Amino acid sequence: MNGNLYLVSTPIGNLEDITLRAIRILKEVDVIAAEDTRQTLKLLNHFDINKPLTSFFRHNENKKGEYIISLLKEGKNIALVSDAGTPAISDPGEELVSLAIEEGITVIPVPGPVAATSGLIISGLPTGRFTFEGFLPMNKKNRKDRLESLEQEQRTMIFYEAPHKLKSTLKDMREFLGNRKIALAREMTKIHEEVIRTTLDEAIIKYEEENPKGEFVLIVDGYDGKTEKDVFWKDLTIQEHYDYYLAQGEDRMNATKKVAKDRGVSKRDIYGELNS
């Protein structure tokens, strides 16, 4: 008889977030397949779990997948864990699951932490409908295409990003999505846990002045029909936009304020542009 493949979620920072069932399953299976065996060994040692480990990471996924399937077919029960959170969510596992299903193997979830939904629930943005986008493609053209395809996405969007790419990702989002609300959920469940609820423009300014550190989930507000591409001033220059408000009877200060607000930039930027 085939063994079972368990997808076991592990903490995304705080070890107390492991479930009782995850500990039991990890103790009961024959083999644990781990993204990084050294990392998982720390977790297993902490919970006094002594089990054979085998590595299963993105670059050996195909070859290792076949080996793991062969063990399952011999009747061995296997737990798949990733470095943090839930396997197969922006982590290896997806292909192993489809291979296992093709082979008639039972796949069992052992649910627990996921960075994406943890970030979403503290974002303050709508949670009723959301879309998980994971990491944006690295390739420039694919990244542009992906962001363009999200321009009119009404659901709250969740992204993963590495700290060293955060600045450029915020700028790309700003370029293709316009200025939006964003929550940056950083280092969740860890000592330096923090959530920054702001706009894309403000986030860009913040990270011009400091280097992003730690792990981030980005939660971006969905399209509300009012992004720049649809607004009345989309084809106006800043001067024309400003003149429009003057013609509406605003004084210079208010006109500048309104232009800055519409465009999601600082008044100083608008002054600079008008006086250049």
Binder among 4, 40, 77, 90 for ligand SAM (CB under 6 A): 90
Contacts of residue 102, defined as CB under 8 A and 6 or more positions apart, other chains included, come to none
What CA–CA distance (Å, rounded) separates 151 from 45?
46
Smallest gap, in angstroms, from Cβ of residue 118 to ligand SAM?
Answer: 7
Smallest gap, in angstroms, from Cβ of residue 204 to ligand SAM?
Answer: 18
Would you count residue 242 as binding ligand SAM (CB under 6 A)?
A: no
Would you count residue 91 as binding ligand SAM (CB under 6 A)?
A: yes
3-state SS of the chain is: CCCCEEEECECCCCHHHCCHHHHHHHHHCCEEEECCHHHHHHHHHHCCCCCCEEECCHHHHHHHHHHHHHHHHCCCCEEEECCCECCCCCCCCHHHHHHHHHCCCCEEEECCCCHHHHHHHHHCCCCCCEEEEEECCCCHHHHHHHHHHCCCCCCEEEEEECHHHHHHHHHHHHHHHCCCEEEEEECCCCCCCEEEEEEHHHHHHHHHHCCCCCCEEEEECCCCCCCHHHCCCCCCCHHHHHHHHHHCCCCHHHHHHHHHHHHCCCHHHHHHHHCC
Binder among 7, 29, 40, 85 for ligand SAM (CB under 6 A): 85
Would you count residue 115 as binding ligand SAM (CB under 6 A)?
A: yes
Smallest gap, in angstroms, from Cβ of residue 1 to ligand SAM?
Answer: 30
Would you count residue 203 as binding ligand SAM (CB under 6 A)?
A: no
Would you count residue 170 as binding ligand SAM (CB under 6 A)?
A: no
Scanning 63-71, 121-129, 158-166, 241-249 for contacts with ligand SAM by CB under 6 A, the matching segment is 158-166
Would you count residue 82 as binding ligand SAM (CB under 6 A)?
A: yes
Would you count residue 216 as binding ligand SAM (CB under 6 A)?
A: yes
Smallest gap, in angstroms, from Cβ of residue 247 to ligand SAM?
Answer: 47
Smallest gap, in angstroms, from Cβ of residue 32 to ligand SAM?
Answer: 16
Scanning 112-120, 121-129, 174-182, 224-232 for contacts with ligand SAM by CB under 6 A, the matching segment is 112-120
Smallest gap, in angstroms, from Cβ of residue 139 to ligand SAM?
Answer: 18
Would you count residue 86 as binding ligand SAM (CB under 6 A)?
A: yes
Kindly list the residues in this chain that would bind ligand SAM in the complex (CB under 6 A). Answer: 12-13, 82, 84-86, 89-91, 114-116, 160-162, 185-190, 215-217
